[in-house]
Structure 1
Amino acid sequence: MSEALQDRSAVTGEDSREYLTFTLGEEEYGIDILNVQEIRGYDAVTKIANAPDFIKGVINMRGVIVPIIDMRLKFQLGTVEYNQFTVVIILNLSGRVIGMVVDGVSDVVALREEQIRPAPEFGAVLDTAYIDGLATLEERMVIVVDIEKLMTSGDMGLVDQIRADPAQTGS
């Protein structure tokens, strides 16, 4: 499926970058395509004892244990419903493989730096450190996320603990 997305991607100039866009609830997000390893359907996961709700568990992907993060739960977007559009985006972040569950994948888009506007400041109420900015594509707004900053933030540190202690998976 990821090959099909790459085939559809626009030809980019030197001053633009490609982003994979995906949906969570009513919102559309974009992440740098270079962090995406593959896209796969949502499958059952092995639960992890005492993990926060947003960490669904782990999967064994060709011999690699991959933690699975549900982004709707992470962003506190309400009830999660898994359907035929629910996918897992497998990310490769600084040599670590992490899966994130999203409602659906939209497209691959090319954005120039000037198309991305800075995110508004919300002070201490909302942590926007992982938001690179907002881009407008035709009639839609895309929240551009620095996925490496998000996945390596303090509250995601549990990912390293899970990978370090496979005994917790019960396998």
Structure 2
Amino acid sequence: MLEPTSSKTENQSQPVPSGAAQVESSEFLAFTLGSEEYGIDILKVQEIRGYESVTRIVNAPDFIKGVINLRGIIVPIVDMRIRFNLGTPTYDQFTVVIILNINNRVTGIVVDSVSDVTTLSPQQIKPAPEMGSILSTDYLIGLGTLDDRMLILVDIDKLMTSSEMGLVDHIVAGA
């Protein structure tokens, strides 16, 4: 039993091949807003639900649609189309709510539709270009490229911990 411990120590002193730690791929849930396709880290997704009516909160910004009661938890619902100024949202049979669990805080985001889970290697993720006022690059991981398809990869942690999302917490706490 002592021998494996000593060989473990020997292995630690050997150089690790460059790039060996970066070969892990990441999985993203792909969804659409308008004509664009976005992706968020699948590990942040708790569940996907059909869109249902919400309880509106007085004095909440337009992008906060309201709250729902999800198995005893009050969950704020943010409409991403309104949040990103992507035109007037329409709610149909494809509209879904992605329930996220970020830092033990449950929030729902309304998107036009969800397509699939996509695996991207680090080589398939390119830095995000400056996108002006539509979407701050502060909230972007980059652009995921797959053959003829491109995903705008959203850093949902940064987006949901921004000052605007802190407002969501304040409104829900007062509800």
Structure 1 unmatched runs, 5+: 1-13, 167-171
1:135 aligns with 2:133: no
Q: 1:75 & 1:161 partners in 2: Cα distance?
A: 21
Residues 106-147 of structure 1 deviation map (CA, whole Å, 9 limit, x = unaligned): 100111112100011357885210100001112111000110
1:85 aligns with 2:81: no
Contact 2:64 2:76 in 1 (8 A): yes
Deviation of the 1:163 alpha carbon: 2.8
Counting aligned pairs with the same residue, the percent is: 67
| Change beyond 3 A, Cα 1:158–1:140 | same
TM-score (norm 1): 0.85
CA RMSD of the aligned region, Å?
A: 1.7
Structure 2 unmatched runs, 5+: 1-22
The amino acid of 1:65's aligned partner reads I
Which range is displaced more, 114-123 or 45-54? 114-123
Larger Rg: 2
The amino acid of 1:158's aligned partner reads L
Q: How does 1:11-160 map to 2 (within 5 A)?
A: 15-122=24-131, 127-160=136-169
Deviation of the 1:162 alpha carbon: 2.1
TM-score (norm 2): 0.83
Q: 2:162 & 2:123 partners in 1: Cα distance?
A: 26
Number of residue equivalences = 154
Q: 1:75 & 1:124 partners in 2: Cα distance?
A: 9
The amino acid of 1:55's aligned partner reads I
